[in-house]
Amino acid sequence: MHISPRDALLPAIDLSARALLVATRVRVWSGEKRDRSITRELCDSKGAEQNAIRANKSLLGDAIAPVQTAERIVRAAVAERTLPWMDDGTRILKGTAYLAFTDAMAEPIRGFDDAVSAFIAAYPDIREQARRRLGDAYSDSDFPSQGQLRQRFGVKLTFLPIPSAEDFRVQLAADEIDAVRRNAEEALRGTVNDAVASLLERLREPVARMATRLRLFSREDGRTRHPFRDSLVENVRAIVQLAPMLNLMDDPRIAGFCREIEDHLTAYHPDDLRASPALRNSVADKADDILRRMQGAFA
């Protein structure tokens, strides 16, 4: 079921006072290094054109994996609390959620910094391991000094104002400025629609999954078929708790659906759902009803 908001349901949009943009930059040294000498040897030995085959060295092996995991956690934390905006990865954040967002980001950023510190502390040993792993392909020049490492890692969150369609300082005729402004307003409306649709999909997916899994679950003759984990309910609860932060336009319909989901879907403990076929069917029916009405409200 695909849900998309209607343009007509979104009035004239001015997000400049209610939201801001978030650009996330995470620097991680991958330790991947192209070896030109081995590349030439490979191409010559295979009769291939130069650079048709390329040899890359993994200087760090698995030693960089904890930092890469920490990077993914940082990016996931940003994505969880924001909505898509531009193709370049910029996200949009509701202004009233700014403090909650920065508080929530403190832990994953601290986890990233800790992983980097542990990596840097182990760097001398990592280089020695690389000497053994790479054999004759090892070169000291491939490795920066331990003191230079810190600058190759970092997390930076940049908060930017949302451009206004009214703000034009180019030298154009009045009718040209109006045309540019209309184009900007249409682009803004489309981007806001995409952001709202993203929130609706994030609400829809765990609710739909809950309905499906509850209907499949059964216990017969002491055997459990199609079991579900507690996360089936917890995932629904998590997105409902995040929804106010993501509801850019404070749309009362989204808030209303979230209240219904809390009242009728996440009010029960997973063990109660497992124990009662009647309760499972009732909650699944309510989930389907919410999904149908959500689709109708934003069709």
Model confidence pLDDT, tens digit, residues 58-85:
999 999 999 999 999 999 999 999 988 8
In degrees rounded to 5, what are phi and psi of residue 209? Answer: -65, -40
pLDDT at residue 226, rounded to an integer: 96
Work out the number of other CB atoms within 10 angstroms of the CB of residue 138: 15
> Are the beta carbons of 57 and 35 closer than 8 angstroms?
yes
Quick one: pLDDT at residue 184?
A: 53
Determine contact, residues 110/118, Cβ cutoff 8 Å: no
Do 63 and 122 meet the contact criterion of CB atoms below 8 Å apart? yes
C-beta atoms surrounding 289 within 10 Å: 13
Residue at token pair 């509801």: 247
What 8-state DSSP symbol labels residue 265?
A: T
User: Among candidates 294, 198, 286, which has minimal Cα distance to 253?
Assistant: 294
Burial (0-12, 13-18, 19+ Cβ within 10 Å), 157: middle
Q: What is the DSSP string of 194-238?
A: HHHHHHHHHHHHHHHHHHHHHHH-EEETTEEES---THHHHHHHH
Residues of the chain above pLDDT 70, percent: 85
Q: Evaluate if pTM is beyond 0.85.
A: no
Give pLDDT, residue 37: 87
Give the start-to-end residue ranges of the domains of the chain.
16-161, 174-298
In order along its 299 residues, the chain shows pLDDT tens digits of: 555 554 434 444 567 778 899 999 999 999 999 988 888 988 889 888 888 889 899 999 999 999 999 999 999 999 999 988 877 889 999 999 999 999 999 999 999 999 999 999 999 999 999 999 999 999 999 999 988 999 999 999 999 988 765 554 445 455 655 665 565 566 666 677 778 888 999 999 999 999 999 999 999 888 999 999 999 999 999 999 999 999 988 889 999 999 999 999 999 999 999 999 999 999 999 999 999 999 888 76
Closest CA relative to residue 282, chosen from 231, 226, 214, 236: 214
At 248, list the tokens: 């850019």
